[in-house]
Amino acid sequence: MVQVTVNEREPLEKAIRRFKKKFEKAGILKDIKKNAYYIKPSANKRMRKAKALKRLRRTLAMQKYQQNSQYRDQYGFQDLSSRY
């Protein structure tokens, strides 16, 4: 349970802001959304695999981009986007 004590002469907006930060940090809203409806274990497994594949593709694309940028730097190619 998230609790915030409002100090004397403290604006209510400031206390609400502190409450929101604690609420978000505790992960309450994330937990509520996660348990909003039942997900079958097989569907959950499928979603986890899809997320892992997406992460892998993003990592590989980033590595490829970094290799290409090293190649451009090594052989002196100019960045054409700076012209326009």
Question: Are 2 and 23 a contacting pair, CB within 8 Å?
Answer: yes
Question: Are 47 and 34 a contacting pair, CB within 8 Å?
Answer: no
Position 1 scores a pLDDT of: 85
Position 54 scores a pLDDT of: 97
Question: Are 65 and 73 a contacting pair, CB within 8 Å?
Answer: no
Handedness of CA 54, 60, 64, 66 (dihedral sign): positive
Residue 72: pLDDT above 80?
no
Domain ranges in the chain are: 1-37, 39-75
Residue 70: pLDDT above 80?
no
Handedness of CA 36, 38, 43, 48 (dihedral sign): positive
Q: Give residue-wise pLDDT tens across range 10-64.
A: 999 999 999 999 999 999 999 999 899 999 999 999 999 999 999 999 999 998 8
Question: Are 18 and 4 a contacting pair, CB within 8 Å?
Answer: yes
Position 71 scores a pLDDT of: 67
Q: What pTM was computed for the model?
A: 0.51
